[in-house]
Amino acid sequence: MKHCLGIDIGGTAVKASVLDTSGTVVGSAGANTPVVTDEPGKVERDLAGTWHSVLGVIAGACESAGIDGASIEYVACTGHGKGAYLRFKGEQWPSVGIVSNDSRAARLAAEMGASAEYRKSILPRVTQPLWPSHSSAMMAWMKRAQPERFRRIDQVLFAKDFINCMLTGVVATDFTAATASGFYGTDNNEVDSDVLKYFGVPELKSALPSAVASHEVVGTVRRDVAEATGLRQGTPVVAGLFDVNAAAIACAIRTDRDMSLVGGTWNIATATTTRPEIFADSWDTLAVQSHCIPGQWMIHEGSPTSASNLEWWVQRVFNLGGPPSWEVINNHVMNTKSTSVLFFPYIYGSNGNPVATGSLIGVQSGTTTGEVIRAIYEGITFQLLEHAEPTLNVIPEIEHLRLAGGITRSRPWVQIVTDTFNRSLSVSPTEEIGTLGAVVCGAVGTGVYPDYPSAIEGMTSFLDPLEPDPAQQEELRLRYEVFVRTRETLSASWEIAYVPGV
């Protein structure tokens, strides 16, 4: 059986998985990649340390699989979109990575994204609302707030392209990561000079890489990388793709028929279409970007409002009688059929309100731990539904959900999602959804499979679907309406409590 290597760089960690050509994970390794957060809103990573971790997880994944790294047929990477991975003048390699949950550009993004010029001239080019995480907003902010640092920029890459660059020495990106950045036109996947001008950064045109198809081989593994990891020098490396697209591929969603939901660091609702024009009235709320499958576009909306919010509570507040585990957390929820508590999952920010904060409403003296945890489960799920509803309204034919991310480790939480969305839902048996999507692209690019449909069919599988409980669906729909109304009343309070720089 042939083996391939997928690498996934997220906001806080990097993972590598060895898979066979049926999509089965045979070995994995991961490492946390510390970030620098020494000022409000800042989330940066030192790329020398990150690269050291990447080398380690590559070797670790091969060891876990019990194979010689030299037998790997190809390498494919995925990673968080947006952000900016920077090489400065005089440097050989990128040294600073600005992660996608960096929020220093929040105020500027809200201002520039709401302008008449953005809506009239820029929105039709980039076909997505402006978020603080967009590379365009980050670079506009840096030029204003850190002009000396900005002037030293020589190369702007995106997360998985940084790894490709280090693996091969080649600078390139793909259509999915490019059109997620806010710098490239969705119609042609090329850097848009008018967009650069709007953001006040025309000098970055030469610093942004050309984009190619996700499955295209962009280079081969360098000798020193081979020596450090055990990979074979000359192993093909494909361009790879944005992790949201990777999840859509690994979830095998059918165009205009299914939706993939990701509940990890971010809450993300995604569909694909061959009819991007039907979303023209939704560009100010939904991101419409290139997909890796030719002739398809990806539609998604998301925010950092997912399982990381539960993790924050578990690590910092709850005392659950020992090391936290899904078994302990889920037992609390299974013994709690309802809650009057509401949780607003904005600990790491919100795409709807730049000053919203994580908030718990309705706690009383008799409130149990189970009620609070269930409220957290529900609040994160409600936010995911809110991201999905605009797409579901435009494509009402969507009849089935595919769920990925940390949420899938909790059967009670998966059922809450199923009931809240009132649609059947399937879960992939693999936890490494990002690396699976990446290696599907690599399988197409290196000829293991002739095209995407056959690669997806040959490399993905799903557990039996869950069906919604009508009684729970009705109760959760009412809770969702209360969630939305209560948040409206909180908005003014968040604004009053907001203190710049704190």
pLDDT digits (tens, 9 = 90+) for 247-286: 999 999 999 999 999 888 789 999 999 999 899 999 988 9
Is 14:31 a contact under the CB 8 Å cutoff? yes
- CA–CA separation, 412 vs 427, rounded Å? 13
Which residue in this structure is represented by tokens 């190369």?
Answer: 155
State the average pLDDT over residues 289-293: 95
- 3-state SS string for 81-122: CCCEEEEECCCCCCCEEECCCCCCCHHHHHHHHCCHHHHHHH
- CA–CA separation, 309 vs 356, rounded Å? 14
| CA dihedral over 10, 13, 14, 19, signed as positive or negative | negative
Per-residue model confidence (pLDDT) at position 499: 61
Which residue in this structure is represented by tokens 């610093």?
Answer: 207
**For the chain, what is the mean pLDDT?**
93
- CA–CA separation, 15 vs 128, rounded Å? 29
Q: Does domain 3-244 have CATH number 2.30.110.10?
A: no
- CA–CA separation, 433 vs 431, rounded Å? 6
- Of the listed ranges 35-39, 45-49, 146-150, 261-265, the one predicted with least confidence: 261-265
Per-residue model confidence (pLDDT) at position 500: 60
Digit-coded pLDDT (tens) for 307-319:
888 888 887 777 7
pLDDT at 320 over 80: no
State the average pLDDT over residues 386-414: 92
pLDDT at 353 over 90: no
Secondary structure (3-state) at 332: helix
Is 377:332 a contact under the CB 8 Å cutoff? no
**More confident call, 263 vs 234:** 234
Type of residue numbered 177? A
Would you give the distance in Å from CA 382 to the centre of its chain? 18
**More confident call, 279 vs 428:** 279
How many other C-beta atoms are found inside a 10 Å radius of the C-beta of residue 366? 6
Smallest CA-to-CA distance from 166 within 97, 110, 262, 248 is with 97
% of the chain with per-residue pLDDT over 70: 98
Tell me how far apart the 2 most distant CA atoms of the chain are, in Å. Answer: 64
Most confident of 264-278, 320-334, 444-458: 444-458
Per-residue model confidence (pLDDT) at position 377: 96
Smallest CA-to-CA distance from 263 within 359, 174, 387 is with 387
Q: Does domain 307-384+472-497 have CATH number 3.20.20.140?
A: no
> Given this chain, do its domains 3-244 and 307-384+472-497 carry the same CATH topology?
yes
Say if residue 277 is exposed, middle or buried (CB neighbours under 10 Å; 0-12, 13-18, 19+).
exposed
Digit-coded pLDDT (tens) for 199-217:
999 999 999 999 999 999 9
- CA–CA separation, 21 vs 1, rounded Å? 7
Would you give the distance in Å from CA 58 to the centre of its chain? 21
- CA–CA separation, 381 vs 376, rounded Å? 8
Type of residue numbered 316? R
Per-residue model confidence (pLDDT) at position 264: 81
% of the chain with per-residue pLDDT over 90: 79
- Full-model pTM: 0.89
Digit-coded pLDDT (tens) for 126-183:
999 998 999 999 999 999 999 999 999 999 999 999 999 999 999 999 999 999 999 9
pLDDT at 502 over 50: no
- CA–CA separation, 178 vs 195, rounded Å? 13
pLDDT at 324 over 70: no
Smallest CA-to-CA distance from 350 within 131, 140, 141, 135 is with 131
Type of residue numbered 255? T
Where in the chain are the domains? 3-244, 307-384+472-497
pLDDT band at 354 (very low <50, low <70, confident <90, very high): confident
Is 243:232 a contact under the CB 8 Å cutoff? no
pLDDT band at 326 (very low <50, low <70, confident <90, very high): confident
pLDDT at 108 over 90: yes
